[in-house]
Structure 1
Amino acid sequence: MNKQIFLLFFLCCNFIFSQYQINIKASVLDQKTNKPISLANVNFKYTKIGAFTSNSGVFNLKYDEKLINDDDVFVINAKGFKTIEIKVSQLYKFLRNTNKFYLQRDDNTNSWVKDLSLSTIDESGPNLFGKVFSVSGPIQGATIRIKNSLVEAQSDFDGYFNIDAQVGDILVVNYLGMIEKQTVVEDFDDLYVLLKTEAQILDEVVLSSTNKNEDNLVDTGYGRKNKDAVGFSNSTITKKDISAGATSLVDVIRGKFAGVRIEGYDTPRITIRGGTGSMNTPAYAIYDVDGLIFEDFPNFINAQQIESITILKSYGATNRYGSVGRGGVFVIRMNSLYKGSSQTLDSALIKGNDYEEELGMISFENNSKYIKELEEAFSFENAKEIYIKQTSNLEFKSLPYYFDCYDYFKRWNDDFAFYILTDAVISAKSNPKALKALAYKMESIDRNLDAELVYEHLLKIRPYHEQSYRDLALIYSKNKKYVLAADIYKKILLNQIDEVEVLGLQKTIANEAYHLYSNNRDAFDFKNFPIDVLKNILPNIDLNKNINQKTFIRPKDFGYDYRVVFDWSDSNIEFNVQFVSPSKKFFNWSHTKFENKDQLIDEIKFGYNTEEFIIDDSQKGEWLINIDTFSIESDINPTFLKYTVYKNYGRDNEISKTSVINLNRLSQKLTLDKLFYN
């Protein structure tokens, strides 16, 4: 028997199995402006039931009636506003009249917290509109910034942007693989910016050959075609793209194709963005090896004998293979010597990945002119005088200047040092790149509650970026706000976030979501947590546990000896990470246009900037992690890298450390860290 009661405020009660399922759907608004308040925390006090408001200020709170009593307290709080607390008995009466909650602003809130929290509500809006495009059409994800400032914007799917600029400002516009363009704002008419590719610039000064390039022909499953003329979604690498150190097909594929996620190593399964599967029921790729179709991963392939690999990932490309190809196809062609030979080379004999370098350790010392001036101070007050004099003489305070001054002043006064960082946050409140770096810095100094505020603001200004949701869920978990963290992970895993499908960070989020579930499941409503989705993403972990049992036993096979996570503040940055094993063999992961352009474009398009690496049940001894960068950036707002290493991740004895590196100061390849594996 089902019984439904509909109230004016959308309070729905469904009588199922002798109990009510209650769903409260309502809005939270700013009393002063009547504008929606996003990321307001809505919960029942001292319970595991809670949610947060969307960008439109709406929340959905579902719970079993038996879990909440009339004397329980319903709470709404949002940073920069006064908290509302009301008993449940009064709540139901209130909701019979309206489904809108109005919050009053809290004048006692810390100044920078209030400024940042209210900035998306009070902002008057940008005054310059424009569009970025190339000869091929609009450019999504182009960066538009005002020179010598931290004001920045990004073009949308159709290439449009808006930015708070003034007449006389110089706009700097760039995009991956394009020539940077600068233009002066002369008026507030719509601005149209045409970017040329690096190849176009070369074409203007170099005569192009009319000879057909044999290397441009690839096997698509329908025969050899020019890869530029293929009419469906594909991506190709050839033998010249395969490093001498690649010993398996996994080594060849990893990092070479955008949207490709690899699960496992010995018997991997691969998903391709663009296949017809979903996060809940992924469709795995199949393999066409010289015309033979394999649904299981072809481990027998010798990486050094591959002629080419082409990914087909649209309906037009996969209809040749029928429904079995719905997850995409790897078309693999071997060279003729390999086809006629039954012999395989011992992977240990392959040359090219022996590590023979001697590198120095990365240093975080700073010898800039302004720090040398501060070092001459004989007291805190004297240092402040020097700082004030410096800032009055500087045309603009760069992000590294803020960071360096924080590092200097923390020896004198923690509050003043942190004030410098919060001043930077307000100056950069429209600049996601700078805000990410500042949040990284706050995490590295254990100011996680302050970092939380920055990550919340990032989600407000970048609501369609995958990274915004992952970062916020992770910082909520760090701050023991497990109900909110679980709510975000649940929405991600069940694809319940409008216009956002988190695929680029799928495995990373799965690891972090299961970490939350396995370590803190008693702190939130775990019965509704999408554990079945995690089973699909983490197939090698035994998640077949009875979630109703009172004593939860963490699966023995969840957890890693080392989990290394890199986050970077700008997807356009080019750098290389190198892992060196105790046996002095190296593995490179390259974040460059030359090696991994499709991946960089995917990051820019879908808004993510994280990569994780797992070292588990591996060689004992000392592992090296080296880093090198290839980008030259302005020192006003360079890219920062957050490096987090977890030892015994997911286990009772887990420990971690976080470092933040200004990649613009990395003038040579250096060792970032040494991990001792025993």
Structure 2
Amino acid sequence: MKKAVVLLLVCTVSAFSFAQEKLNTIKGVVTYLDTPLINAEIKVSGSEEATKTDMEGRYTINARPGQLVSYAYPSMRTLEIVVEDVTRILNIELTPEVNQLDEVVVEKTVLKSQKQLRAEYATNKNLINTAFGILDKDVTSFAVRIAEGRDLNPIGLDIATVIQYRFPGVRVERNGLDFLNPTIYLRGGALGFFPAIYDVDGLIITDFPNFLQIENIERIAVISGLGAVTKYGGAANGGVIVINTKGANYFPEPGTDKPYDLARLRNNKFNGDVLTSEDLKKDRPIYLTKLMDSKSEAEAIATYNEQIKVYRSSYFYILDAYDHFSNRWKNTDFADGIIENNKQVIYDNPLALKALAYTYQAEGRLKEANEVYKEVFRLRPNYAQSYMDLANSYREIGENQRAAAIYARYGYLLEEGFLRAEGDLGIIMDRELNNLIALKGRELLSRRELKNLVLDDEFDGTRLVFEWNDSEVEFELQFVNPEGNYFKSEHSLLADANRIKDEKISGFSSEEYLIDDSVKGVWKVNAKYFGNKSLTPTYLKATIYHNFGSASQRKETKVFKLSLRNVNQQLFTVSNMSTVVGN
């Protein structure tokens, strides 16, 4: 950040102190290739807090936001994770210290690919479809009990009763005030006093799925103990009940009468192929399919009123429902009511707030986005991203003086040591401020100041800025040029752990790519999502600046909900590009 520019924009800025962050209790599982690592060492830097994983790879440790938690195990790469205000679950996958071998010989394998398992699903009773792909009970390293829907006794009161009768060791507890929403406990759970969670057609929920009918169940499975925790994390300490419903897990393949599985699969169309937006629709949550299949707005509202009873604690569902009514039915009032009626789920969660702000920006509701970014700033006043987001948001609504003041405030706090800047943060922040002054300088500075001011940034072309709502996210961006050649940038602990560490220390979650216009053509931008150490989606915002730095500069905002892991999915295309330069 240029000191001279800051002094031109503001004379005095009052410093403020940050409140002492509260202690977070962090839980998770440490694994390697889905196998728990016993006695892995977990330590909190700057304190005596330390622990080791138990026989199931589980751990619990306390740390404050800003502290580093390290994960170490013999012959494995040590990982350091920066704790944030929202950090509660960290499922860690360690990798070997030496990642490449000169020669690897595999003589025989009995494992089948997801493609093979999809083909067998309809006839193989030992397969169950989960949020992480199809499991084959014959080759898993943990116990999986499976029953066919036609073998279930339909006389039971509800699915809970059916499960209790079909699977030994299942205990059902009912509350007289809420009799139809029982709690199920599985014998052999990692911790017996935790209730089971549910995986319904790839959607993971904690509440009992009372919306399901027994006759609609295709297949059901019970996973308890270490197997549940290894796959689903600490939320599955009480085990997992996996339910596949009829019609949701396989469909007729085009041109044949054979069933073709369209569930959420990790290896789906991966070998060089890219999933389009139409492909991704096949993997959307079941609740969203039901909303989209509504024949009228009234039917959609009725569906929402039933679904919100089940998914009321999920901000992902709330944002999906908002998007559906805002864009499908153009009913902004009802969509706004969804947000207003569920504020308690969103407004104390910076991840949910950022996702909502992205959505507003993509819709062009810039004033609403500005109000949300103010809330994020309130929750995260020591995050560099909070300053850039709020400044850019003020600029979007035409309040350029306030935008400049936010940048000036950030520069002052940085120089005084209240904030930290690591990695490429300074480059991106400088470019934002330079662009603001270059295009709106007459509103901010006197003629004399403008005449004497020299800006370093001379880039003129297409600028892509990506931002994500969850700092734990790991992904890869791929840029394919008009000739089919590509450039890749991986944002992961495996690729560059120090980079992610620097981003979290600074509170920064953006990266930019500059594309000049020397060769005309169309670039394709794809992404591969690796996950975020939990079972939740991540929201990715892409801001595309056309003719960046010129008087004709314009931009567009796109938002993507990343949930399908380890597949290449198409994001968007941009024209008039030649070379990608990553910062």
SS at structure 1 position matched to 2:463 = strand
Relative distance call for 1:641 and 1:518 in structure 2 (3 A) is: same
SS at structure 2 position matched to 1:517 = helix
2:567 is matched with 668
CA–CA distance in structure 2, aligned partners of residues 631 and 384 of structure 1: 32
SS at structure 2 position matched to 1:547 = helix
Relative distance call for 1:556 and 1:611 in structure 2 (3 A) is: closer
The number of equivalent residue pairs is: 357
CA–CA distance in structure 1, aligned partners of residues 501 and 560 of structure 2: 23
Q: Could you tell me whether the CA contact under 8 Å between 2:91 and 2:534 is conserved in 1?
A: no
Gaps of 5+ in 2: 1-8, 27-40, 49-61, 70-77, 103-270, 578-583
CA–CA distance in structure 2, aligned partners of residues 406 and 576 of structure 1: 28
1:485 equivalent in alignment to 2:384: no
Identity among equivalent positions (%) equals 27
CA–CA distance in structure 2, aligned partners of residues 378 and 195 of structure 1: 41
1:197: how far off?
6.9
Provide Cα deviations, 1:430-461, integer angstroms capped at 9, x if missing partner. 22222211111111111221111221121221
1:384 equivalent in alignment to 2:284: no
CA–CA distance in structure 2, aligned partners of residues 586 and 400 of structure 1: 32
Give TM-score scaled by structure 2 length: 0.52
1:475 equivalent in alignment to 2:393: yes
Provide Cα deviations, 1:395-424, integer angstroms capped at 9, x if missing partner. 544233122212221233111113323445
1:371 equivalent in alignment to 2:288: yes
Amino acid at match of 2:358: Y
1:134 equivalent in alignment to 2:62: no
1:461 equivalent in alignment to 2:379: yes
1:623 equivalent in alignment to 2:523: yes
Task: Select which of 297, 317, 322 maps to 1:401.
Answer: 317
1:565: how far off?
0.6
1:506: how far off?
1.1
1:471: how far off?
1.0
CA–CA distance in structure 2, aligned partners of residues 55 and 441 of structure 1: 31
CA–CA distance in structure 1, aligned partners of residues 81 and 417 of structure 2: 33
2:57 is matched with none
1:570 equivalent in alignment to 2:452: no
Pairing 1:519-668 to 2, within 5 Å after superposition:
519-524=439-444, 526=445, 547-549=449-451, 558-631=458-531, 634=534, 637-665=536-564, 668=567
Relative distance call for 1:523 and 1:399 in structure 2 (3 A) is: same
Provide Cα deviations, 1:163-204, integer angstroms capped at 9, x if missing partner. xxxxxxxxxxxxx947999xxxxxxxxxxx9999755x99xx
CA–CA distance in structure 2, aligned partners of residues 389 and 638 of structure 1: 23
1:338 is matched with none
Give TM-score scaled by structure 1 length: 0.46
Q: Could you tell me whether the CA contact under 8 Å between 1:465 and 1:608 is conserved in 2?
A: yes
Relative distance call for 1:52 and 1:365 in structure 2 (3 A) is: farther
SS at structure 2 position matched to 1:458 = helix
Relative distance call for 1:402 and 1:499 in structure 2 (3 A) is: same
Provide Cα deviations, 1:289-332, integer angstroms capped at 9, x if missing partner. xxxxxxxxxxxxxxxxxxxxxxxxxxxxxxxxxxxxxxxxxxxx
1:361: how far off?
3.1
CA–CA distance in structure 1, aligned partners of residues 454 and 24 of structure 2: 53
SS at structure 1 position matched to 2:546 = strand
Amino acid at match of 1:506: G
2:348 is matched with 430
CA–CA distance in structure 2, aligned partners of residues 139 and 238 of structure 1: 35
1:593: how far off?
1.2
SS at structure 1 position matched to 2:333 = helix
| Higher mean C-alpha displacement, 406-415 vs 606-615 | 406-415
Q: Could you tell me whether the CA contact under 8 Å between 2:68 and 2:82 is conserved in 1?
A: no
Q: Could you tell me whether the CA contact under 8 Å between 1:361 and 1:673 is conserved in 2?
A: no
Higher RCO (CA 8 Å, separation ≥ 6 residues): 2
2:421 is matched with 502
CA–CA distance in structure 1, aligned partners of residues 276 and 90 of structure 2: 39
Q: Could you tell me whether the CA contact under 8 Å between 1:508 and 1:612 is conserved in 2?
A: yes
1:321 is matched with none
Relative distance call for 1:54 and 1:459 in structure 2 (3 A) is: farther
Amino acid at match of 2:429: I
1:577: how far off?
0.6
Gaps of 5+ in 1: 1-47, 58-119, 141-152, 161-175, 182-192, 203-212, 216-236, 241-355, 528-544
Q: Could you tell me whether the CA contact under 8 Å between 1:565 and 1:611 is conserved in 2?
A: yes
1:634: how far off?
4.9
Amino acid at match of 1:361: T
2:145 is matched with none
Q: Could you tell me whether the CA contact under 8 Å between 2:275 and 2:567 is conserved in 1?
A: no
Q: Could you tell me whether the CA contact under 8 Å between 2:530 and 2:565 is conserved in 1?
A: no
1:602: how far off?
1.4
Amino acid at match of 2:502: D
CA–CA distance in structure 2, aligned partners of residues 675 and 196 of structure 1: 36
SS at structure 1 position matched to 2:449 = coil
Task: Select which of 40, 62, 65 maps to 1:156.
Answer: 65
Q: Could you tell me whether the CA contact under 8 Å between 1:406 and 1:420 is conserved in 2?
A: yes
1:547: how far off?
3.0
SS at structure 2 position matched to 1:665 = coil
Task: Select which of 249, 274, 283 maps to 1:359.
Answer: 274
CA–CA distance in structure 1, aligned partners of residues 82 and 426 of structure 2: 32
SS at structure 2 position matched to 1:472 = helix
Q: Could you tell me whether the CA contact under 8 Å between 2:90 and 2:534 is conserved in 1?
A: no
CA–CA distance in structure 2, aligned partners of residues 55 and 404 of structure 1: 37
Q: Could you tell me whether the CA contact under 8 Å between 1:131 and 1:138 is conserved in 2?
A: no
